[in-house]
């Protein structure tokens, strides 16, 4: 299987954004490492990372929530959105 690089236009956007994100993250870690912190701060950081890891590993499905109104403007929840005969009703697609 032959792998090729993404399109140059895509790399022109993605590469600087990733580099900036890496630089800011490294600067934050470096700054955080230089200072003294309370045990509660470090425990809070560890708890946040653990919770984030668990939430990523075991996602909780959310059921019964109608989110289609923002994606499909013709499907509004009960009582939501403009009335069908509203002259200002516009569907953007």
Q: Mean pLDDT throughout 50-57?
A: 94
Q: What is the pLDDT of residues 2-30, one digit of tens each?
A: 778 788 899 899 999 999 999 999 999 99
CA–CA distance, 74 with 90 (Å, rounded to integer): 9
Question: What 3-state DSSP class applies to 66?
Answer: coil
């Amino acid at each position: 299987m032959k792998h090729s690089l993404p399109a140059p236009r895509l790399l022109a956007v993605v590469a600087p954004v990733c580099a900036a994100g890496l630089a800011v993250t490294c600067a934050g870690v470096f700054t955080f490492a230089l200072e003294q912190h309370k045990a509660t701060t470090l425990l809070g950081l560890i708890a946040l990372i653990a919770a984030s890891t668990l939430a990523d590993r075991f996602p909780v499905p959310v059921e019964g929530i109608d989110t289609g109104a923002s994606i499909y403007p013709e499907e509004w929840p009960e009582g939501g959105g403009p009335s069908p005969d509203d002259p200002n009703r516009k569907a953007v697609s």
